[in-house]
């Protein structure tokens, strides 16, 4: 009888242990439910203190994961292994996620702080009436450079990158849309071109750039530029702002032929397990003081007009990072090119990278 009792107790203990372990694993993987908000964001794209503040103010626990490309983010959400409550895709990815039925509509009545957003950044073509997304950060693609290491180049034109005096001095971000887009823009073509001849011309011109390219890299570009190990880099405006903060000799320019105007927005993926918590987080991030603190930490431009009033005017009046509406008219948002055409861009970019060796 004692053996039966011991066995029964052992089974109960094992079941309780399994329940605890399963509950822990569920929470770790974002399946926790109503007490947890699981966020999927770009790396270095939020002030960690704000996560702690959100937890203190709301009682939610945050599970925070990062991705390094829109494509990787979309793939993971499509697979559905983790119940992400919030993700932060770029504009063309939002368009694609809508097409693939990966997003839940947003209840604007639960986001009173939307009143803080500059109307310029609302109701854009990739998400009319902001049915599925709320603005987070925005910026441009351009050229950061060190005049002290150069011979007077100002980079008002993309063609400056092809200057023979820049041999082995140029860094490029490891991204097909940015690099192929730069090649297209340098020929005064749209960075969303689907014309085979235009893409071939851009590809041929990029091949002529290879002697000047020092490396095609990711986040390492920041320290290389700050440490003056390279003179020029194709990069995003927020990354450039970080570089300029650490090295006052650096400057940033968006070439006159045009470039990318990008938007990263908060969305609620269809796999969300805590829709109430997701809305609470979006509303929290739109608070003027919170948004201002986040912008100060991250370095990218914010669409939050109320927050800008709280920020250093020296920052918000810098037209390199907060370009005027007139300047923005010469910039383009990335369109969702579709799987086949995106594959073409990736193929051309891979050939360009292979030509480096």
Residue 60 has a pLDDT of 98
* C-beta of residue 272 within 8 angstroms of C-beta of residue 278: yes
Mean pLDDT to the nearest integer, 145-164: 95
Look at strands 170-173 and 232-236 and give their pairing.
Answer: parallel
Phi-psi region of 109 (alpha: psi -120 to 50; beta: other; left: phi over 0): alpha
Residue 237 has a pLDDT of 92
Q: Measure the CA–CA gap between 9 and 7, rounded to whole angstroms.
A: 5
Q: What is the pLDDT of residues 168-199, one digit of tens each?
A: 999 999 989 999 999 999 999 999 999 999 99
Q: What is the pLDDT of residues 307-357, one digit of tens each?
A: 999 999 999 999 999 998 888 888 999 988 988 998 999 999 999 999 876
Grade residue 9 by pLDDT with cuts at 50, 70 and 90.
Answer: low
Query: Would you say residue 14 has pLDDT above 60?
Result: no
Beta bridge partners of 62: 37
Which one has a higher pLDDT value, 286 or 33? 286
Residues 6+ apart with CB under 8 A from 308: 292, 302, 316
Which of the residue ranges 33-37, 46-50, 77-81 has the most confident prediction, judged by mean pLDDT? 46-50
Residue 42 has a pLDDT of 94
Residue 296 has a pLDDT of 92
Q: Measure the CA–CA gap between 230 and 149, rounded to whole angstroms.
A: 8
User: Closest by alpha carbon to 332, among 182, 203, 122, 197?
Assistant: 182
Residues 6+ apart with CB under 8 A from 203: 180, 183, 348, 351, 352
Which one has a higher pLDDT value, 284 or 8? 284
Beta bridge partners of 140: 261
φ, ψ of residue 86 to 5 degrees: the values are -135, 140
Candidates 3.40.50.2300, 3.20.20.80, 3.40.50.300, 3.40.190.10; CATH matching 139-261+324-354: 3.40.190.10
Top CATH class, 34-136+264-316: alpha beta
Grade residue 23 by pLDDT with cuts at 50, 70 and 90.
Answer: very low
* C-beta of residue 205 within 8 angstroms of C-beta of residue 186: yes
Asked if 34-136+264-316 and 139-261+324-354 have one fold, the answer is yes
Query: Would you say residue 244 has pLDDT above 80?
Result: yes
Mean pLDDT to the nearest integer, 119-130: 95
Residue 20 has a pLDDT of 43
Place of tokens 């860094």: 171
Grade residue 249 by pLDDT with cuts at 50, 70 and 90.
Answer: very high
| Poorest-pLDDT segment among 11-15, 60-64, 113-117 | 11-15
Grade residue 11 by pLDDT with cuts at 50, 70 and 90.
Answer: low
Domain boundaries, the chain: 34-136+264-316, 139-261+324-354
Per-chain mean pLDDT for the chain: 90
């Amino acid at each position: 009888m004692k053996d039966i009792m011991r066995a029964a107790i052992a089974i109960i203990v094992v079941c309780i242990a399994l329940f605890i372990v399963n509950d822990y694993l569920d929470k770790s993987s974002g399946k926790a439910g109503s007490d947890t908000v699981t966020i999927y964001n770009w790396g270095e794209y939020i002030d960690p203190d704000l996560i702690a503040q959100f937890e203190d103010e709301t009682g939610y626990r945050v599970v925070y994961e990062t991705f390094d490309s829109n494509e990787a983010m979309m793939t993971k959400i499509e697979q559905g292994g983790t119940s992400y409550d919030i993700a932060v895709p770029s504009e063309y990815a939002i368009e694609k996620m809508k097409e693939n039925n990966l997003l839940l509509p947003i209840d604007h009545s639960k986001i009173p702080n939307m009143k803080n957003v500059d109307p310029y950044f609302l109701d854009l073509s990739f998400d009319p009436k902001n049915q599925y997304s709320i603005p987070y950060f925005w910026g441009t693609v351009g050229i950061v450079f060190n005049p002290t290491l150069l011979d007077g180049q100002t980079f008002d034109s993309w063609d400056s990158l092809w200057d023979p005096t820049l041999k082995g001095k140029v860094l490029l971000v490891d991204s097909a849309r940015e690099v192929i887009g730069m090649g297209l823009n340098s020929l005064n073509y749209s960075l969303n071109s689907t014309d085979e001849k235009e893409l071939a011309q851009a590809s041929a011109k990029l091949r002529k750039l290879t002697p000047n390219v020092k490396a095609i890299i990711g986040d390492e570009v920041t320290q290389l530029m700050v440490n003056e190990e390279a003179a020029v880099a194709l990069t995003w405006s927020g990354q450039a702002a970080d570089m300029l903060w650490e090295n006052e000799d650096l400057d940033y320019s968006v070439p006159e032929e045009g470039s990318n105007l990008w938007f990263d927005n908060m969305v609620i993926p269809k796999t969300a397990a805590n829709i109430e918590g997701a809305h609470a987080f979006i509303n929290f991030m739109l608070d003027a003081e919170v948004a201002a603190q986040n912008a100060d930490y991250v370095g990218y431009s914010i669409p939050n007009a109320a927050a800008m009033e709280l920020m250093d005017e020296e920052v918000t009046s810098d037209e390199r990072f907060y370009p005027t509406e007139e300047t923005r008219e010469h910039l383009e948002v990335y369109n969702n090119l579709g799987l086949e055409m995106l594959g073409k861009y990736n193929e051309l970019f891979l050939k360009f990278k292979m030509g480096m060796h």
